[in-house]
Chains A and B, each alone.
Chain A
């Protein structure tokens, strides 16, 4: 009965590789998000999709490309991984709008060697 799930939980890879992180929510929410939490623990929003439409696209390298095949899924593909991409990536979902509570996934810890 997991609400927001992410796979994989851990990802260790070499610089220059391409990797994907998958996210699924079974809450029936309209909006999904990707956040990056770095070593200083700040959560920074990267992308937000509402009903498969891109709403927020913060200043993120274009090596990061989100894809939303349907409103229950928001995947994150990262090309040409760099050392600075090492962080924990969280997926979240909410009913439409920032006034509504966001529910977070367990996170994916990405380590780039």
Chain B
């Protein structure tokens, strides 16, 4: 069964610190893996999209990595800001479906001043 699991479920860090969020998936084969940021009360916003052949992709202070062999991805946030408080969701697109996405439950990140 195609699954995407994220850890930790929630994380609290101080402003200015770095953090890393994890994503393990069983979707195989897959065409791409995405990280979304969802602010409370808003729709998800795409941070990065990596194809199966990419290892890393950055978007400002966000850096996503992908290890297709171990089926793991991580999202590293550098020098966190209060506005980074949100849920971060890992999403995998199966190769055999052009429209279907498999969503993780997300990691809820809280940045404290």
Contact = CB atoms under 8 A, between A and B. Distances in A.
A104 B46 CA distance: 9
A98 interface: yes
Contacts of B49: 101
B104 to A, nearest CB: 8
B47 to A, nearest CB: 10
Interface in B19-54: 31-32, 34, 41-46, 49, 51
A43 B99 contact: no
Contact of A40 (B32, B94, B101, B105): B105
Interface stretch (A11-19, A44-52, A62-70, A76-84): A44-52
Contacts of B105: 40-42
B100 A90 contact: no
B103 A44 contact: yes
B31 A41 contact: no
B43 A107 contact: yes
Interface in B62-113: 87, 89, 93-94, 97-101, 103, 105-106
Interface residues of B, number: 23
Interface residues of A, number: 26
A58 to B, nearest CB: 9
Contact of A97 (B34, B46, B99): B99
Contacts of B41: 106-107
B45 A56 contact: no
Nearest to A107: B43
What are the nearest 5 A-B pairs in CB distance?
A104-B43, A98-B93, A43-B103, A48-B99, A97-B98
Given A43-B103, A48-B99, A107-B41, 14 more contacts: A40-B105, A43-B89, A45-B100, A45-B101, A50-B99, A90-B44, A97-B99, A98-B32, A101-B34, A101-B46, A103-B46, A105-B43, A106-B42, A106-B43
